[in-house]
Amino acid sequence: MLKTTASFWEVLSRGIKKVPTLQGQVVANLFFEPSTRTRSSFEIAAKRLSADILNFSSATSSMTKGETILDTAKAYVAMGTDIMVIRHRQAGIPQVIAQEMDNLGIKVSILNAGDGQHEHPSQALLDLFTICTLLDAKNPRLDLLKGKKIAIIGDILHSRVAHSNIWSLTATDVEVHLAAPPTLLPRFFNNYGQDRAGKIFLHWQLEPALEGADFVITLRLQKERMASYLLPSWREYHYLFGITKSKLKLCNPNVKVLHPGPVNRGIEISSDLIDDPEISLIQDQVTSGVAVRMALLYLIGSCKTIGEEKE
Amino acid sequence: MLKTTASFWEVLSRGIKKVPTLQGQVVANLFFEPSTRTRSSFEIAAKRLSADILNFSSATSSMTKGETILDTAKAYVAMGTDIMVIRHRQAGIPQVIAQEMDNLGIKVSILNAGDGQHEHPSQALLDLFTICTLLDAKNPRLDLLKGKKIAIIGDILHSRVAHSNIWSLTATDVEVHLAAPPTLLPRFFNNYGQDRAGKIFLHWQLEPALEGADFVITLRLQKERMASYLLPSWREYHYLFGITKSKLKLCNPNVKVLHPGPVNRGIEISSDLIDDPEISLIQDQVTSGVAVRMALLYLIGSCKTIGEEKE
Amino acid sequence: MLKTTASFWEVLSRGIKKVPTLQGQVVANLFFEPSTRTRSSFEIAAKRLSADILNFSSATSSMTKGETILDTAKAYVAMGTDIMVIRHRQAGIPQVIAQEMDNLGIKVSILNAGDGQHEHPSQALLDLFTICTLLDAKNPRLDLLKGKKIAIIGDILHSRVAHSNIWSLTATDVEVHLAAPPTLLPRFFNNYGQDRAGKIFLHWQLEPALEGADFVITLRLQKERMASYLLPSWREYHYLFGITKSKLKLCNPNVKVLHPGPVNRGIEISSDLIDDPEISLIQDQVTSGVAVRMALLYLIGSCKTIGEEKE
């Protein structure tokens, strides 16, 4: 998968960035939740592959007339959609749709673009690709991560990005250190490391996670957590868990910082770090995102899949 | 018209589903009402024909600044639109726009995608195509319906789908049986059969309409009818007029059920019927819809027309 | 610039209106304000040049999660956007974004599609092109305006269209006469003529501005001006400043009327004038708009620019 992404990454660095790979195929973006990056990223990836895009917006659709999500999805398939990219605030929706298509014998591919607090596979894949490409641009591969220490800081409990990253990073012999206030990092996250090649460590303080870290993935703090009494204030969160240049001194001197976006400047990460080209990989992540999604669309094509494909 | 649709239907079953027929032409989707099927169907039809699409959304347009519908339409024409597909909750809007373009000597094609409670021509055409293709896939033609009995069940009074279907189906020697509660099926519908080849029958009970029927078209019940005192409750509606497997026993043993979508499962039709591949043509309708709209866009091209073309 | 537009105008009059000039390039339409003409005009211009379009809608974007405008813009650049077309109700936004891209060494082109009450360069360019093409269709050039008298009538103070037009028209030896109620035309507008080839005249009555005018540009009166006590009523505005056939008798017999759209029929201009093909250039403006924007997109391509380019 990383190899395919690398070849599409190479396409994107050419003059003419378009290839006719998915000519005549239809990709439907069924986004039931707001998104800038993921939606546009899939859209531009599909267009680079010469596919046709259908954008769905629930506010101007027949869902206002009471149509179910499954019937909406089936209508898109009947119209000729080959690949459906689905984002929904309810976990499990892409899987439910995929199973229903299975039951009905309908041939369509489903890509999970983020389902509730469950998973966000394409984000984890692009994070992986960004990291591996940094370590070896010509031959990005999973085993480059062997022996590395990667910290994930933030609202782990509610973050589908964190869940997918934990899964993908522990596919090889890596130390994944999670750090968050106790309300956002319950003990059961220890179990995520079982039967995986990598190891997971939980911390309720920032510093142990950062010590010697090679990569730091910060997550967006949703401001509504304060309203639900999970955190006292964003200021206290920033004081204890915000990533700043001084705190990064604990890490490996060549440490890099990632963030899935969108960023709350000054909350989970200080504003100067976000734009620091020596440390931040945030813009690279967005660029990788298009290459990764081109690879996903290409590999999945017209085979049906539940939503995750990492290897 | 059916022959053209059949040839486009054949295009859609190929590997590469795209043809360069409308290359360089611009299709503007002016949808002032919510829609999933019709809007996306026209969009994918236009894209299969390699046309460029402009999607109009009234909420983010200059209509918020007070621009009239006619001026909005003229702006799109001046930008180079060749075909305008219009849906509006006010009946007659496509015709008004077409007449104004006539008066001004402007050359543009108008397709009615549903105007208020008046007509929905492309839906009726795709229903016709779905039925005729079932009867003879290689040579779908209108006279296949001769002698057939077709029931239309539901909110006939308010349904533009019903009005268009009544018109198209009575173009040949067919029995069209309408059934609905008296509040939704006034007597004047008898007049719709005058000077037409087909015959219209009104029923205020479901069973006489279903007896011996070859095809049953169910319409979506708008739940707000209860609020306007036209129906006591949806439960009573389902009991008296809902289509279920047991009620279908009155029909021809090979009866098929159609529904324009979106479906209210369990209200106008029972949930199991909708997905039954032996009985339901609902998914076929959606697929036909793309072929029919490709044919409409192709045939209409740059000739101006009021909105209906059935022969 | 006018020559490039003229060549694209010629492309639009051919049978096949599409050219592969920007094949593989991505144009992102970042419209934070409502628009019909400008947004669709840029979209169709980009599609005629075979570019791929990304449409941004703030309501369904990550800006709902608190993402800043700059970070949104940077995300689009990282996704591979070559040209960003920006409209925002806050003046200066396109320039701020362009400067930030400069600071970060990012290579992307910015086109200002209207920023607050500041400027609307593509509108002024298309007005210029419409006028010059009328004077000499085969060779539209700026010096055709020498010695002409052009009136701009309306809410000059708040109109970005007026500001851009004043700048572009005074690039040659032209008399630009501004007329509006005193509340909408403060004295400092006299300064706009300094160091320019053209001359500016202010009038607080309509008639002196219209006397001998060759072209009259009317601006949309925003009805909310009444609410802010800048005008007594729209009826009084129409009586004193509205353009009607009888008032046009003061002008040059061949006078033409322009309006950037959308028009408030009966307020700034009488309804019959808008559709009069002998006098109104309003539809021509919209058509020119596509050609002008094709030229802008082509000329700007992948060079970075602040937003204005007139010569």
Nearest CA in chain B to A52: B47
- Indicate yes or no: CB of A44 within 8 angstroms of CB of C63: no
Per-residue pLDDT band for A253 (boundaries 50, 70, 90) equals very high
Main-chain phi, psi angles of B218, to 5 degrees = -100, 145
Closest CA to A289 of A135, A121, A156, A119: A121
Cβ-contact B286, B261 below 8 angstroms: yes
Burial class for A100, CB neighbours closer than 10 Å (0-12, 13-18, 19+): middle
The answer to whether A37 is annotated as binding is: yes
The answer to whether A123 is annotated as binding is: yes
* Predicted local distance difference test score (pLDDT) of residue B268: 92
Q: Is pLDDT of B43 > 90?
A: yes
Q: Which pair of tokens denotes residue A151? A: 């910290």
pLDDT tens, B182-241? 999 999 998 888 888 999 999 999 999 999 999 999 999 887 666 777 888 888 999 999
Q: Considering chain B, what percentage of its residues have pLDDT values greater than 90?
A: 53
In chain B, what residues touch A49 (CB-CB under 8 Å)? Answer: none
Handedness of CA A64, A70, A76, A82 (dihedral sign): positive
C75 contacts: CB under 8 Å, gap ≥ 6: A36, A37, A40, A261, A262, A286, C67
Per-residue pLDDT band for A304 (boundaries 50, 70, 90) equals very low
- Indicate yes or no: CB of A56 within 8 angstroms of CB of B40: yes
User: What HEC string does chain A produce?
Assistant: CHHHHHHHHHHHCCCCCCCCCCCCCEEEEEECCCCCHHHHHHHHHHHHCCCEEEEEEHHHCHHHHCCCHHHHHHHHHHCCCCEEEEEECCCCHHHHHHHHHHHCCCCCEEEEEEECCCECHHHHHHHHHHHHHHHCCCCCCHHHHCCCEEEEECCCCCCHHHHHHHHHHCCCCCEEEEECCHHHCCHHHHHHHCCCCCEEEEECCHHHHHCCCCEEEECCCCCHHHHCCCCCCHHHHHHHHCECCCHHHHCCCCCEEECCCCCCECCCECHHHHHCCCCECHHHHHHHHHHHHHHHHHHHCCCCCCCCCCC
- Indicate yes or no: CB of B75 within 8 angstroms of CB of C31: no
The arithmetic mean of pLDDT across residues C77-83, rounded, is 92
Sorted by where each starts, the structural domains of chain B and their CATH numbers stand as 2-119+286-310 (3.40.50.1370), 147-280 (3.40.50.1370)
Q: Is pLDDT of B306 > 70?
A: no
* Predicted local distance difference test score (pLDDT) of residue C199: 93
The arithmetic mean of pLDDT across residues B41-54, rounded, is 92
Per-residue pLDDT band for B304 (boundaries 50, 70, 90) equals very low
Average the pLDDT over each of B11-20, B172-181, C43-52 and give the range with the smallest value: B11-20
In chain A, what residues touch B220 (CB-CB under 8 Å)? Answer: 65
Alpha-carbon distance B136 to B2, whole Å? Answer: 12
pLDDT tens, C138-178? 888 888 999 999 999 999 999 999 999 999 999 889 999 99
* Predicted local distance difference test score (pLDDT) of residue A310: 38
Q: Give the closest of A17, A34, A285 to C65, CB-based.
A: A34
* Predicted local distance difference test score (pLDDT) of residue B301: 75
pLDDT tens, B69-92? 899 899 999 999 999 999 988 889
Identify whether C287 is a catalytic site residue.
no
Min Cα–Cα distance to chain A from B271, Å? 11
The arithmetic mean of pLDDT across residues A64-74, rounded, is 84
pTM of the model: 0.88
pLDDT tens, C90-114? 889 999 999 988 888 888 888 989 8
* Predicted local distance difference test score (pLDDT) of residue C3: 64
A87 contacts: CB under 8 Å, gap ≥ 6: A30, A31, A32, A33, A35, A38, A39, A112, A113, A114, A115
* Predicted local distance difference test score (pLDDT) of residue B29: 92
The arithmetic mean of pLDDT across residues B121-130, rounded, is 92
The more confident residue out of C17 and C114 is C114
Q: How many inter-chain contacts (A to B, CB under 8 Å) are there?
A: 82
Min Cα–Cα distance to chain B from A129, Å? 32
- Indicate yes or no: CB of B286 within 8 angstroms of CB of A72: no
Alpha-carbon distance A162 to A145, whole Å? Answer: 17
Chain A contacts to B (CB-CB under 8 A):
23-24, 26, 28, 52, 54, 56, 59-68, 71-72, 74-76, 78-80, 104
The more confident residue out of C136 and C18 is C136
Q: Give the closest of A16, A41, A264 to C79, CB-based.
A: A41
Catalytic pick among B17, B37, B47, B310: B37
**Residue whose structure tokens are 């983010």:** B60
Q: Which of C62, C69, C74 to mutate to test the interface with A (most CBs of A within 10 A)?
A: C62
- Indicate yes or no: CB of A36 within 8 angstroms of CB of C61: yes
* Predicted local distance difference test score (pLDDT) of residue A307: 42
Alpha-carbon distance A232 to A265, whole Å? Answer: 19
Per-residue pLDDT band for B16 (boundaries 50, 70, 90) equals low
* Predicted local distance difference test score (pLDDT) of residue C106: 84
Q: Give the closest of C31, C263, C286 to B79, CB-based.
A: C286
pLDDT tens, B227-278? 777 888 888 999 999 999 999 999 999 999 999 988 999 999 999 999 898 9
In chain A, what residues touch B47 (CB-CB under 8 Å)? Answer: 26, 52
Nearest CA in chain A to B260: A75
Average the pLDDT over each of A294-308, B101-115, C194-208 and give the range with the smallest value: A294-308
Q: Which of B11, B38, B44 to mutate to test the interface with A (most CBs of A within 10 A)?
A: B44
Looking at residue C150, the DSSP 8-state letter turns out to be E
* Predicted local distance difference test score (pLDDT) of residue B219: 94
Alpha-carbon distance C82 to C28, whole Å? Answer: 8
Pairing of strands C175-179, A109-115: unpaired
pLDDT tens, A2-43? 666 666 776 666 656 788 888 889 999 998 887 778 899 999
* Predicted local distance difference test score (pLDDT) of residue A279: 95
CB-side neighbour CA atoms (13 Å) of C222: 16
Q: Give the closest of C57, C265, C283 to B74, CB-based.
A: C283
- Indicate yes or no: CB of C41 within 8 angstroms of CB of B79: yes
Closest CA to C308 of C128, C58, C158, C78: C128
Alpha-carbon distance A186 to A230, whole Å? Answer: 12
Residues annotated within the binding site of C are 37-38, 65, 87, 120, 123, 160, 220, 261-262
Residues annotated within the binding site of C for L-aspartate are 65, 160, 220
Q: What value does the mean pLDDT of chain B take? A: 87
Per-residue pLDDT band for B32 (boundaries 50, 70, 90) equals confident
Identify whether C120 is a catalytic site residue.
yes
Chain A contacts to C (CB-CB under 8 A):
12, 15-18, 31, 34-37, 39-41, 43-44, 47-48, 57, 220, 222-223, 261-265, 275, 283-287, 289-290
Per-residue pLDDT band for A62 (boundaries 50, 70, 90) equals low
* Predicted local distance difference test score (pLDDT) of residue C306: 41
Min Cα–Cα distance to chain C from B107, Å? 13
Cβ-contact B87, B116 below 8 angstroms: no
Catalytic pick among C14, C60, C64, C65: C65
Q: What value does the mean pLDDT of chain A take? A: 87
What's the ipTM? 0.87
Identify whether B87 is a catalytic site residue.
yes
Average the pLDDT over each of A52-61, A247-256, B144-153, B191-200 and give the range with the smallest value: A52-61
Pairing of strands C26-31, C83-88: parallel
Closest CA to A83 of A305, A290, A288: A305
* Predicted local distance difference test score (pLDDT) of residue B195: 86
* Predicted local distance difference test score (pLDDT) of residue B59: 65
Looking at residue C114, the DSSP 8-state letter turns out to be E
pLDDT tens, A177-232? 999 999 999 999 988 888 889 999 999 999 999 999 999 999 998 876 667 778 88
Per-residue pLDDT band for B309 (boundaries 50, 70, 90) equals very low
Q: Is pLDDT of A308 > 60?
A: no
Q: Is pLDDT of B310 > 60?
A: no
Chain B contacts to C (CB-CB under 8 A):
23-24, 26, 28, 52, 54, 56, 59-68, 71-72, 74-76, 78-80, 104
Catalytic pick among B74, B118, B120, B149: B120
Question: Which amino acid is present at A171?
Answer: A
Q: Which pair of tokens denotes residue C108? A: 């992307």
In chain A, what residues touch B287 (CB-CB under 8 Å)? Answer: 78-80
Residue C236: Cβ within 10 Å count = 13
Q: Is pLDDT of C227 > 80?
A: no
Q: Which pair of tokens denotes residue C207? A: 């008639």
